[in-house]
Amino acid sequence: MSLPYALVLHGLGGSGPTHWQNWLAGELAHRGGQVDLPQFTLPDEPRLHVWLAELREHLAAAPTAGERVVVAHSLACLLWLHHAAGEFDPALRVDRVLLVAPVSPEFTDDPLITEFLGVPLDPAAVRRAGASTRLVVGEGDPYCTVPQAKELAEALRLDLDVIPGGAHLNVAADYGPWNAVLKWVRSDRTPLTPR
């Protein structure tokens, strides 16, 4: 079975070398998959319009043959929702999207991400941007509580997986290697489970 093309999107500050996103990119590449793990401009001081333009450049450069998936973490989940709510371009549509540990659109404790908040919650736009989208949240995430994640999933009409004790599903929560996310990329195996 051939692997899909995977576009892996980091959040605020990027993904360090031991983050599951870097592990995932390495695993996919090792198995012969096409993977793109871009570094957004100024990852510690994100600008929505800059990141949106860069996201769309990477989507436009993605191969058109075969399945295309997007795996977003943290702030990149809001970035994806802004992209979805923008002007629709069928050439940028993907097959599957995994939104992992989103920052709640109601989170106001970090002035660096203010531009990303207030995202339109439009389920039709999300379906236009990606044929299938799934949301994953860690229990105890300081940026998005489980009730907030449930509200987000309901507003967008998405399936939601809750990872017990997963917190922000990052290195601090001990999420380096994470086989469940690799299985999801390879075969759409759901629901996602802890590492």
Task: Give all domains of the chain, ordered by start, each with its CATH number.
Answer: 5-187 (3.40.50.1820)
**Above pLDDT 90, what percent of the chain?**
90
Evaluate whether 138 touches 165 at the Cβ level (below 8 Å): yes
C-alpha 66, offset from chain centre: 20
Torsion of the alpha carbons at 180, 184, 188 and 191, rounded to the nearest 10 = 40
pTM for this structure? 0.97
The rounded distance, in Å, linking the Cα atoms of 13 and 22 is 14
Q: Given this model, what pLDDT does residue 97 score?
A: 98
Output the CA–CA distances (angstroms, integers) from residue 58 to 23, 108, 161, in the order listed. 20, 29, 27
Confidence of residue 106 (pLDDT cuts 50, 70, 90): confident
Neighbours of 146 (CB within 10 A): 15
H/E stretch holding 119 reads none
- Name residue, tokens 């500050």: 13
The pLDDT score that the predictor gives to residue 2 is: 82
Q: Give the angle subtended at the CA of 84 by the CAs of 127 and 75, to the nearest 5°.
A: 115
d(CA 94, CA 171): 27
What is the reported pLDDT for 1? 58
| 28 — pLDDT class (breaks 50, 70, 90) | very high
